[in-house]
Structure 1
Amino acid sequence: MRGSILSLLTFGSAVSAWLPAERGFFKSEARSLSIGQGRSITKRFNPDKIRGVNLGSLFIVEPWMMGQAWNDMGCGDQKSEFDCVLKLGQDGADAAFKQHWDTWITEEDLDKMKEYGINAIRVPVGYWMVEELVDQSEHFPRGGLEYLDRLAGWAASRNMYMNLDLHGAPYSQEIHQPFTGQYSEEAGFYQTSQYERAYTFLQKMTERIHTTDAYRTTGMIEVLNEPQRTHDSLIPEYYATAYGKIRETEANLGVSDDKKLTIQFMAESWGAGNPRQVLEGKTDVAFDDHRYLKWANIDQSKPSYIATSCGDTFGGNDNSPIVVGEWSLAVADNNEQTPEWEPQGNKDWYKQWWGAQVQAYEKGLGWFFWSWKVQLGDDYRWGYRNAVEAGVIPLSPDEAAGLAKC
């Protein structure tokens, strides 16, 4: 998770690979929702769009968003998973992380997602899930793949779409970012030897998805989250080859076109180049945009946030179809705790802004909120479940249009 520069672009195009709308995967369903005092109402949920959440800090911990759990693991003074494994030792770290994987996201969480109208999950993972890729100089928890398999099965049993996202790349794709799994002083990913390790990860996970029943509703794989914006080899070498390696794996498995994974890339609006340079004519891909107005070059005012979100469009330079893979209700750091912006006294405005963003992001394929849950006290702005429980996000995403008149 990190900020991006907003671009106001256009959307359009279709694909042939595994996307939920093309299969009628999100079936329209009516649910009885409690409105208190023993009363309930019936709501019908929109079946056409991805309405998802990120499972942030499940398989790659970001200490800022789960401070209490990080302390309980014995990692409280450490900046990243890599650092914590070094501190605890491999066996101690393996035990601590297995306890974390067992408790941070449970089946009850997925049931709540369904209750709240969430139909998809984006799952950030590190390359170390494929443990053979970890060399002796690297320190990561072991045993996560078993828990990823379990999660995929939970999602499949609830008919939830899953996007598997390579969030942490070998030798780190960004400096000083725990979302890579390490607090690195250097982004060492951008070299052929590290690309090769990432290709192996993508191929191993592609094979696992197609040969393991638990992954039957996993339809998208993202080749890299939030790369640095200054590497000339990223698109012509890494993106082009990553696409080919995934398709080669599927060809070897005899996967039919309608069951091939949708391969996702960060959109040109992220600032690291245009993936279409090497994907010309390919219609089985998707693009990822991260929309954090807190870091955008706009007037930092409430009217500006609403107007920007209402007018937001996507997909220029043929970067479509597009999913907004990360967004939140967070505002600029220097404003977030001032009386005009603090969360508890401004719930009506945050509810309106949530509605404006949902309407914008559903101009494309849909969205994944960052994140499902956080441990930030009464600040709900980064946690979907936290915001629903605070009364800011409604139980049905279909209410978005009634909250912000875009």
Structure 2
Amino acid sequence: MKFSLLSLLALGTAVQAWLPHERNLFGEQPSSRFSSSYNKIRGVNLGSLFIIEPWMASQEFASMGCGGQKSEFDCMLSLGQEAGNAAFQKHWDTYITEQDLNTMQQYGLNTIRVPVGYWMVEDTVYQDSEHFPKGGLKYLDRLAGWAADRNLYVVLDLHGAPGAQEPNQPFTGQYAPSAGFFHSWQYERAYKFLQVMTQRIHSNAAYRTTGMIEVLNEPERNHPDLITEFYATAYAKIRETEAQVNCPAESQLTIQFMDQGWGAGNPADVVGGKPNVAYDNHRYLKWDTSIEHSKSSYLATSCSDSFGYGGNTPLIVGEWSLAIKDELESTPEFDPNVESNKAFYTQWWAAQVQAYEKQLGWVYWSWKTQLGNDWRWSYKQAVEAGVIPKDPNQAAGIARCYG
């Protein structure tokens, strides 16, 4: 279906220009000594809303009848379509509420990143062999509207790709033994998802603050045609859809790609210089094998971190946390339940903020988890524990990054 320019204009603010600073979307944020810029993205991921990851939401998964299952695909196969649809729709209806978004605002956040699977567009799914819940779009529409009502910027992220872009990773929606995404026929299904969602964003007023679409989360490395074929064509398909709905150039979505630092190639090789492009870096020091895993090393590394190499700017650090190396998580030096450790985590949060705001900003992983008293993956819980301050502007005075 095509929409005329007049019909788009009738939606009022349904279509906007798409990096927040271009419209002063958040209002001017106080400058700090680590950045003189305004309108930094300060956000959280809504992990396990539309793609449940059992490691971080085990109680929720069990309550849905999915206990012991490795992924949404496995749970749906076990429950059957009808019962599975009912279980997931109840989850979508209750896991993130309007009160959550109110609390995000109270904590100084202005952005949500929403991970979704390709099966959100249901006719991309092979009904005879793929098992995913149905009915998610109306809940995504509702969430986008809630965000827009609060002037929260929305990044829509294709987190689960057809065939899975990483093996054995429930964040893809399935626990696939190998990455089956990297074929032209799978790319076609992802293009369809991206085009349908692009059209929806431009034609539905609920998405009036949804300004960025990420074409693929965390792809497996060593697939050269990811850049030359998928990234290049995904960009072209989104722009083609925008042309079909008569979207003016100044109102185009920002199209986001994992940056060169992810290790799966440099998207700038095919989209560098094109308008309205952004990059995504995921910075988890817990898995960095090049550093010493100590408090002083974590602080020094974050204080000196920089991004945007290979022409990959503007850049958002779209995932990060306060999690540390697995083997050290419960040691006395890092145990989150040891009161004296909280000062380190507060300073490390601030050091990461100052690093990531050298670029366009950051989106923490994640808003909420079900990991008991371990708040290192949950922004909400870390604030409640007094580890993260309610005002992100305090980071400048807490980081103490010198030199």
TM-score where L is the length of structure 2: 0.92
Stretches of 4+ moved more than 4 A in 1?
none
TM superposition shift of 1:109: 0.3
1:210 corresponds to which of 202, 207, 215: 202
Structure 2: state its 5+ residue gaps: 1-15, 31-36
Work out which of the residue numbers 80, 84, 87 in structure 2 matches 1:89. Answer: 80
Q: 1:25 is matched with which residue?
A: 25
Residue 330 of structure 1 pairs with residue 323 of structure 2: yes
Answer yes or no: is 1:260 the counterpart of 2:255. Answer: no
CA distance in 2 between partners of 1:165 and 1:291 (Å): 17
Counterpart check, 1:303 vs 2:296: yes
**CA-CA distance at 1:17 after TM superposition:** 5.5
Match of 2:13 in 1: none
Deviation of 1:224 after TM superposition, in Å, equals 0.2
Residues 17 and 276 of structure 1: CA distance in aligned 2, closer, same or farther (over 3 Å): farther
1:115 to 106, 111, 124: 106
Q: CA deviation at 1:121?
A: 0.3
**Number of the residue aligned with 2:368:** 373
Give the RMSD, CA atoms, in angstroms.
1.2
The secondary structure found in structure 1 opposite 2:145 is helix
Using the alignment, how far apart are the partners of 2:352 and 2:29 within structure 1?
23
Match of 1:48 in 2: 39
d(CA) in 2 for partners of 1:344, 1:404? 22
Distance apart, 1:159 and its partner CA: 0.3
Identify the range of structure 1 (338-347 vs 239-248) with the bigger mean alpha-carbon deviation. 338-347
The aligned residue for residue 190 of structure 1 is 182
Q: Is the 8 A contact 1:66 1:374 kept in 2?
A: yes
Aligned with residue 343 of structure 1, among 320, 336, 339: 336
User: Match for 2:384 among 380, 389, 393?
Assistant: 389
- Aligned with 2:101: secondary structure? helix
Q: Which residue of 1 aligns with 2:238?
A: 246
Deviations 1:1-53 (A, max 9, x none): xxxxxxxxxxxxxxx961001111111489xxxxxxxxxxxxxxx95100000
Q: 2-side partners of 1:134 and 1:113: how far apart?
A: 33
Q: 1:289-343 CA deviation, whole Å, 9 max, x = no partner?
A: 0000000120111111001001111101101100000000000000010000011
Q: Whose RCO is larger (CA < 8 A, sep 6+)?
A: 1
2:11 matched to which residue of 1?
none
Q: For residue 165 of structure 1, report the CA deviation from its aligned partner.
A: 0.2
Looking at structure 2, the residues matched to 314 and 17 of structure 1 have their Cα atoms a distance apart, in angstroms, of 25
User: What's the counterpart of residue 221 of structure 1?
Assistant: 213
**Structure-2 change in CA distance of 1:320 and 1:17 (3 Å):** farther
Mean Cα deviation higher: 338-347 or 276-285? 276-285
Corresponding residue for 2:355?
A: 360
Give how far 1:280 is off. 3.1
Secondary structure at the aligned position of 2:25 is classed as coil
Say whether the 8 Å CA contact 2:164–2:179 is kept in structure 1.
yes
Aligned mates of 1:122, 1:204 — CA distance in 2: 18
Instruction: Answer whether contact 2:346 2:387 (CA < 8 A) is retained.
Output: yes
Paired residues in the alignment total 376
- Contact 1:17/1:284 (8 A) holds in 2: no
Distance (whole Å) between structure 2 residues aligned to residue 62 and residue 230 of structure 1: 25
Amino acid at match of 2:362: W
In the alignment, residue 354 of structure 1 is paired with which amino acid?
W
Deviation of 1:257 after TM superposition, in Å, equals 1.5
AA aligned opposite 1:283: P
